[in-house]
Chains A and B, each alone.
Chain A
Amino acid sequence: MIRIKNLHKSYPIGKDSLHVLKGIDLHIKEGEFVSIMGSSGSGKSTLLNIVGLLDEHDEGDYFLNGQEIKNLNEKKGAVLRNKFLGFVFQSFNLISYKTALENVSLPLYYKGVSRKERQKIALDYLDKVGLKDWASHLPNELSGGQKQRVAIARALVTQPKVVLADEPTGALDSTTTDSVMDLLKDINNEGMTVFVITHEEEVADQTKRIVRLKDGIITSDTINVQRNPVKTV
């Protein structure tokens, strides 16, 4: 699903450049539940943004669903994002003047789905995250956990290949963190590839594979045995 080879990324800072990713090799297969662990500034978000086609890599190869990602223009990027990827952000990134239902149905709008169909699908997904009764509420009428569940519904609504979550629990307390992680686990159990960034051990513990990142290099990549009771490697 995601195949990364010797990936490098630098940010120009004034005359110098900051080398953030220094040769990443990563292969994520369909249906995996992977977490990227690392301290702040280790390059987790940079990696996720490249995987999510929001940013470009400088060196190395990146294949998404078998397609090489190279010199992507804005339009192609948008279409691929809409088709293959669902995003969940730490700060939810819901549109403030749109109701929960409208937020969830927006990706379908850009996909060209008809209005009626959109409403129906979006409501189904809101139901799935347990917020059907909150469909007509604005984001500021929802709790943090509820907002993140709306964001997850929005990420799922186009039936993407991969869900990318950048510290989805970073702004939540421990109980809501658990409910969000349970939701991501459910999604993964239905076959969705889920890719989570976190710096919390408890969160990473709930995923099936933990990749540790330090100073732009992968230091370890382990199967979480606890979560893979029947899996044979």
Chain B
Amino acid sequence: MKFIFDSDTWQEIYGGIRKNKTRTVITIIGVLWGIFLLVTLLGASRGLENNFKTIFGDFATNSVFVWTQRTDLPFKGFQKGRRVRLTIDDVEILKREYKEIKFIAPRSNSNSAITRGFKTGNFNISGDFPVLDKVQKKDLIFGRFLNENDIKLKSKVCVIELEIYEQLFDKNEEPVGEMVTIGNISYKVVGVYKNGTIAFDGAAAYIPFTTFKQVFNTGNRIGWMMITANEGVDILQMEQDILLTLKNIHKVDPEDKKAFGSVNLAAEIGKVTGFLTGMQFLTWFVGIATLIAGVFAIGNILLITVKERTKEIGIRRAIGATPVEIRRQVVLESVFLTTVAGMLGIIFGGFVLFLMDTFLGSGPDPTLINPTVNIPIILFAFLILIVLGTLIGLIPAYMATLVKPIDALRDE
């Protein structure tokens, strides 16, 4: 193995490569492109994954949302098409029956104009319990979220979204303690929050559930509920069980698929992570396929050059190069080309990831967060590259010594 550290060996290889610049560039591009794709795609999909993680980060991920629609099947004398309504009593029953429930947030929504002085706008109004903050963490900029006291006293208070604040208040104006008018009633602003990337309520003003019930005269009815399960609970099973209980309470056919609507956040996240896994798989597939194609291109071009260089090889052999020395040079040339191309590919890939991070990874709504590739993965790809480079170099190396020097040197 001494020859690898011999500067003369590399001098010879450099000479051979320098001779054919176009060929060298073409071969390098083949492999470069493969490893470049691998690095950038892996990095980008990692960035997307990180981003999804932060988007869902606001939510307790083992949550189910339940709401009502119309029945689709007649049941116990009821016609189909009956409107089913969730009530606050349902919430109490579920709380009692299901030990696996950690939080349950009953909610009602409406929309209305919100006015402050001459400024006004139409926004969602949501009647909520303080527990909402547990199910979907509220990012508060000013003040506080609703509390138990607000519920008990049916206080005329509200927590508004940043957008509402920006629309109704002047810049840098202190909102907490200020009054706004929702419908005809004045409310005191107690907090301002900022929506994450995924927001079910849009730009909403949260008021105490009890206040909502009184003002909008909704009685016991609620719009929908968000349920969070304890750690380790089979959330899909719990979702089915809860729906059955609700169907039972509201005298709905257990087979009725329409009466209650529900979304399982865990399942949705599963779909997204499934998509990401698929993307990673595709990345590997595309990257490695391109890489192999690139390496084959190198082998092929080396084969062509070996044929072009039969005469040169013949000369070298006539003046004393052994077949092993000739083969060694061709293989080293192949390994050298693939390695250099691989390094360039990794460097370019890293650079593109850096650009992605700068241009797509910052600001209020990043597409990618921290797009990176693991060093061991890169080293592994690099190792594969060297192995492939060696293997693919063996064919032209063998071809190079197949021709007898005398045939290569014949003058005709």
Contact = CB atoms under 8 A, between A and B. Distances in A.
Contacts of A107: 319-320
A172 to B, nearest CB: 14
A54 B409 contact: yes
Contact of A82 (B15, B18, B320, B405): B320
A78 B323 contact: yes
Interface string A41-82: 000010001001011000000000000000000110011011
B153 interface: no
Given A89-B409, A93-B409, A115-B7, 7 more contacts: A52-B318, A55-B404, A74-B401, A75-B324, A78-B317, A109-B12, A110-B320
Contacts of A97: 15, 18-19
Interface in A142-191: 154, 158, 166
A78 B317 CA distance: 6
B406 interface: yes
B8 interface: yes
Chain B interface mostly: helix
Interface of B: 7-8, 12, 15, 18-19, 311-312, 314-325, 401, 404-406, 409, 411
Interface residues of A, number: 32
Contacts of B411: 45, 89-91, 166
A81 B318 contact: yes
B80 to A, nearest CB: 88
B405 A110 contact: no
A98 interface: yes
Interface of A: 45, 49, 52, 54-55, 74-75, 78-79, 81-83, 87, 89-91, 93-98, 102, 106-107, 109-111, 115, 154, 158, 166
B321 A110 contact: yes
Given A109-B8, A115-B8, A78 B15 contact: no
A95 B315 contact: yes
Contact of A158 (B7, B8, B316, B320): B320
Nearest to A106: B319
B302 to A, nearest CB: 17
B309 to A, nearest CB: 9
A54 B320 contact: no
A81 B404 CA distance: 14
Contacts of B315: 93-95
Contacts of A166: 411
A125 to B, nearest CB: 13
Given A93-B311, A97-B19, A154 B405 contact: no
A74 B19 CA distance: 27
Contact of A78 (B311, B320, B406): B320
22 contacts: A54-B318, A54-B404, A54-B406, A55-B406, A74-B401, A78-B317, A81-B320, A83-B320, A87-B318, A89-B409, A89-B411, A91-B411, A93-B311, A93-B315, A95-B316, A98-B15, A102-B15, A110-B316, A110-B321, A115-B8, A154-B319, A158-B320
